[in-house]
Structure 1
């Protein structure tokens, strides 16, 4: 329910304000608006106010503003001066651009509100390198501090991770770091075109690195799990499995993963004393359904000293927060444009494209994390919506902007045949994009 409600709220906010941007500028430009609809399909709610019918429709994947337009049917003589297509190109450009620009403005506001409550920055330190991943093969080490990716400086963990993933399919990625001793080093990721790179896109950009670092002690024991039944408790430290020393959490947890249903003898330390217990890990299917792994129902205790080292918390003033919101919106807008550019030249994986199912999933997760996480999720989706609509693809706002700008510059519109051809190509491209997004969603969420 949290996922469904948070997704519907997100759509209502983002789509309504996008369309309201079109609506309000259309009214300012003297265009008559017949309908304002949030959602597609037959409306289940209607309210007439002045010349405009306000509607809610059942398919929450968009919305539209219907204006008087002679291209869409007969228009009364009295309404001709208020028809959209009878306005000069400058007014039509303003009306069309208003929707995407409203989304970008909304992102600045949402980020500004969120940052006003406080900012938690994660410094670009590598806390954990997962065995068997792209990151391990590239030579990353625990404690590395990422300074640059392909020569470009990074500010925090998020920007470092984004820069790596964005360049992953374009060839070798050179990551300049300082190791734990302060010595400069370079880690080279060479995974372009490999199945592992495709898996990164499916796993939301995870290449095997996390900023967090776990201690070797148990931080949580699940109720009715094999670990609880075996008597394991929070702060216990497993030091051996079946007599084989396991000095780290990863060492013994890997044995457990590879031993589904098998009887294991765990040696652990509690309050300085050594104890032993026996258990059988549950057999659990991995999300990709490729193997069965063992799980005993425990989670590692975070390394609190490390967390303090990599975390920077502060509360900016309101003007500073909104300046940060502006900077973040510009940064993500540029990144989104770069991504689409790389997609066109084959240097970005199509697996990175997400659709409404993934958006709904992330909406639920961010809402469960709190108001700030949800506000920043809304801001990020609003940026994506704004930039996507500005792309020069017919049927999108950006495509119409191209048509009207050409008309403005040459003094007459493109022929109807050329415009219709462009619209057909645009519709085909968007249908393919939507099908790909749904396919990726289903693959990502359901294996």
Structure 2
């Protein structure tokens, strides 16, 4: 069922992205007066089709569910010698260069508009996300050297407000790629005033991050992790080590074997790493300190041992629902789409000069896996995934590679500059080179996918 779920989620996402992209070409072609002969979802042999509209455009589903195309009246592909003058006037190559540019650019533009629409809808609806509150910061990390200790709520990065964890991470990633320092506005608990807050600004150095760090969890390398709730016990299961030792629901754990326990995750990690080992626990119950010994029972899974005491502990981070009015949501959506596009181009540039590994190129297997994972998490995660893939599709199609939209835009731009069309022979050679480049990229992507599966 998991495999089927992944396949369905991938096909739905791919279908939406392809349809939107090709509709961009279709609508602008019609607006420019070009006759559209076929709109196909999928490639290869047509398995189903119907004709609609005044031009009797063929709307088709094809056998291979990867990609799609819009077939226009084009003298390079069809014999137009016997067509009446009114149809010849609607042939693609007879259009002005600006109309041809608009038709070709409309596909990637439609993908960017889809991402903007999805992000705007999510921002209006509200996205439940963790607050940018830090967990205890390990020593000898960049965050610790900056003066962060844990418990701080990050409210701004270089003067730009942040409300949720993903916003903070995104802004830090952009700065890390540029090796630029980050100025963090942090809100700390005031130890001298109950419920009080202290405001502070620290400078976080990001130039210590390597390329490998950026490709992994760079925040962990910096010493920044998502804040977790205090280690307060929830439900205690009967006949488990916790109940037998005398632990009770509502107990606040302070230390284990004399080491402070900062949060619920630290408590869970200590228990799991201590199967069969007696642990001295101190805590607070009803405003009074207590001390006792608990021995986690040994459990086995996939050949590995871990400890368990059969007691619940809260792990969910502080959550916020970030909702914006329509105009503000639209502005944020445009900025997010722009930032993602520019970041994608920067990463591609760093791949070309060897600063970022080509292992980051992903193929259909990894994309399908992410589609399935996000769909299982929920609709918001799935829609966010679609928005990001739509941006990637738009950026990739604008690359100046022959056979892609970007390659055609390059031809037409040269035509604008020189006043002459690109020689047909040159176009044929460039097409072959473009196919070779795309095949190479696909081989690299599939190879990376297989390596990820094996690892």
- d(CA) in 2 for partners of 1:429 and 1:234? 62
Please tell me whether Structure 1 or Structure 2 has the larger radius of gyration of its CA atoms.
2
1:41, 1:57 within 8 Å by CA — same for their partners in 2? yes
Q: Assess, with a 3 A threshold, how the Cα gap between structure 1 residues 373 and 266 changes in structure 2: closer, same or farther.
A: same
Partner of 1:17: 20
Q: What is the TM-score of this pair, normalised by structure 2?
A: 0.76
Contact 1:226 1:279 in 2 (8 A): yes
Selected match of 2:225 from 210, 230, 237: 210
Task: Note the 1:2-81 alignment, pairs <5 A.
Answer: 2-49=5-52, 50-75=55-80, 77-78=82-83, 80-81=88-89
Unpaired stretches in structure 1, ≥5 consecutive residues: 286-290
Instruction: Indicate the residue corresponding to 2:277 in structure 1.
Output: 264
Distance 1:400 1:216 in 2: 59
Q: 1:354 to 1:321 in 2, by over 3 A?
A: same
Q: Secondary structure at the match of 2:59?
A: strand
* Residue in structure 2 matched with residue 176 of structure 1 by the alignment: 183
Q: Which runs of 5+ in 2 are unaligned?
A: 189-197
Which residue number in structure 1 is paired with residue 306 of structure 2? 294
Task: Write out per-residue CA displacement over residues 388-439 of structure 1, whole angstroms, 9 at most, x where no aligned residue.
Answer: 2122222211111110121133121122333333333332332333333334
CA–CA distance in structure 2, aligned partners of residues 333 and 223 of structure 1: 54
What SS does structure 2 have at the residue aligned with 1:57?
strand
- Greater RCO structure (CA 8 Å; 6+ sep): 1
Report the aligned-residue RMSD: 4.1
Closer/same/farther in 2, CA of residues 104 and 298 from structure 1, 3 Å limit:
farther
Q: Which residue of 2 aligns with 1:328?
A: 336
Contact 2:231 2:267 in 1 (8 A): no
Q: Which residue of 1 aligns with 2:417?
A: 409
3-state SS of the aligned residue for 1:23? helix
Residue pair 1:134, 1:196 contacting (<8 A) in 2 also: no
Number of aligned residue pairs = 430
Q: Report deviation, 1:238.
A: 5.4
Show the counterpart of 2:110.
102
1: CA distance, partners of 2:244 / 2:417: 76
1:420 to 428, 431, 445: 428
Quote the offset at 1:25 in angstroms: 1.8
Q: Which residue does 2:400 correspond to in 1?
A: 392
2:396 aligned counterpart, secondary structure: helix
Rate the CA distance shift 1:375–1:193 in 2: closer, same or farther, 3 A.
Answer: closer
TM-score for the superposition, normalised by structure 1: 0.78
- Aligned 8 A contact 1:148 1:175 in 2: no
Cα distance between partner residues in 2 of 1:224 and 1:206: 40
Whole-angstrom CA distance in 1 between matches of 2:411 and 2:10? 33
Of 140-149 and 209-218, more deviation after overlay is shown by 140-149
> d(CA) in 2 for partners of 1:349 and 1:225?
48
Structure 2 residue aligned with 1:248, among 262, 265, 289? 262
User: How far is the alpha carbon of 1:219 from its aligned partner?
Assistant: 5.8
Moved over 6 A (4+): 130-139, 220-234
Distance in 1, matches of 2:452 and 2:239, equals 29
Structure 2 Cα separation of the partners of residues 346 and 389 of structure 1: 22
